[in-house]
Amino acid sequence: MIAVHNLHMQLNAGHHTVTILSGISFEIPNKQVTAIIGPSGSGKSTLLGLLAGLDRPTAGTIQLNGQEITHWSEHDMAQFRRQSIGYVFQSFHLIPTLTALENVTLPLDLSQHSSAKNRAQTLLDMVGLQDRLHHYPVQLSGGEQQRVAVARAFACSPPILFADEPTGNLDSNNGEHIIQLLLQLNREHDSTLVLVTHDTALANQADRVLTLQDGHLVSDRLLPSD
């Protein structure tokens, strides 16, 4: 479960303070797919980064699977992320000097996975890149790079997956393919998926939609199941 209580985020900008998030509270049960939507500047990506421990809030608490992460050291947070969190970035964040296979193998090697290369190859097969294993990011299209990023995020079978605008840099066809990949892998791994998106089609396939506006949570609604 993800539990957020009275979360605030402020940044100093010269002689004044900018409020990014103000008094955000919610809980996300295990295995739920939750979309966070809202206009640009509403605090969506900041919230996702805080949930993943990439930054620290000004005030409030965040619990991931029963553990309060807000005041952890960078070392402890990095270890927890390696074991429990997958993250899909909008801009892919692949390592340019590594092939697709090596990019997906890397987190497995860091976790001392016993069959890292085989696991990475299986995931790349699942996302349809079995013929692109030894290509470098510069040799891949945007859609292919994002598929590598999705495979990498799921490499260690994390119980929690965060995705920041996973279709934001893709055309509609590639975007739809990434949506279906995320949802398929999420179901197969029984993970909790939280994604930030401007994509209405993606948000409508979630179990729940949180809407931010001006740093406030203004709507929290469950979507009807099929």
The dihedrals phi and psi of 197, each to the nearest 5 degrees, come to -155, 150
pLDDT in tens, 133-151: 999 999 999 999 999 999 9
Residue carrying the six token digits 């296979």:
101
> What's the sign of the alpha-carbon dihedral 150, 88, 199, 132?
negative
pLDDT of residue 158 exceeding 80: yes
DSSP conformational letter for 206: S
pLDDT of residue 122: 93
- Fold classification of 2-222 is Rossmann fold (3.40.50)
Query: Which amino acid makes up residue 113?
Result: H
Nearest CA to 215 among 26, 38, 15? 38
Give Rg (Cα) of the chain: 17
pLDDT of residue 210: 97
The alpha carbon of residue 31 and the mean position of all alpha carbons in its chain are separated, in whole angstroms, by 14
Give pTM, 2 decimals. 0.91
pLDDT of residue 218 exceeding 90: yes
pLDDT of residue 13: 79
The tokens describing 123, both together, are: 């995931």
Contact call for residues 210 and 34 (beta carbons, < 8 A): yes
pLDDT of residue 226 exceeding 70: no
pLDDT band at 194; cut points 50, 70, 90:
very high
pLDDT of residue 216: 97
Residue carrying the six token digits 């992320």:
81
pLDDT of residue 167: 84
In 10 A of CB 35, how many CB atoms?
24
pLDDT in tens, 118-130: 999 999 998 889 9
